[in-house]
Amino acid sequence: MKTQKIILFALFIYLFIGCSKKNTELSPTNLPYPSASLQKTILQNKRKKDSINKNFTNFYSEWKGVKYKYGGNSKKGIDCSAFIQKAFKKTLSIKIPRTTLQQSKKGKSIKKSQLKLGDLVFFKTGRNSRHVGIYLEKGKFMHASTKKGVTISKLDNTYFHKHYWKSQRILD
């Protein structure tokens, strides 16, 4: 009888402690000792991200302030989809379609909360008009604005927040 009570008490304690522990998933960021191959993969991904960020930053510096021109495709004037097409070709050697609508069908659809560097963000700016930009990080994206030309804006800006349509991932 006493043994049964001890076993029941031990089982109760085990269940209580097991249920009250925080349930954490294993991920590269919370593993106590990541394997060498995992560390190498993490480092390669960071280098790739840093390289993409540097390429986009350099590209933006070259185009910053270029005026918006519907149908434009040069530094004399450029529209949003041409800017995106040129950015992907020059910085990543990736060919993407010329129009915003065609660009919106490329890659894989993702949620706004999943945005990463290089993802395309799309906006419905009118009944039949669309706008596109490249997500940078921290809620910012670069694009060719009709008012400011090539610029960087925030997704939480009242206008862009209201007109947000969808996001597409082109990069793996």
pLDDT for res 11: 44
Residue 163 a catalytic site member: no
DSSP 13-48: HHHHHHHHS------TTT-SS--HHHHHHHHHHHHH
Catalytic one among 19, 143, 161, 163? Answer: 143
User: What are 80-95's pLDDT values in tens digits?
Assistant: 999 999 999 999 999 9
The pLDDT score that the predictor gives to residue 30 is 59
How buried is 82 (Cβ within 10 angstroms: 0-12 exposed, 13-18 middle, 19+ buried)?
buried
- Which of 4-18, 30-44, 142-156 is the most confident on average? 142-156
1 pLDDT band, cuts 50/70/90, is low
The question of whether 19 is a catalytic residue gets the answer no
Q: Is the pLDDT of residue 12 over 60?
A: no
pTM of the model: 0.78
Is 143 one of the catalytic residues? yes
Average pLDDT over residues 114-133: 96
SS3 84: helix
CATH class for the region spanning 49-169? alpha beta
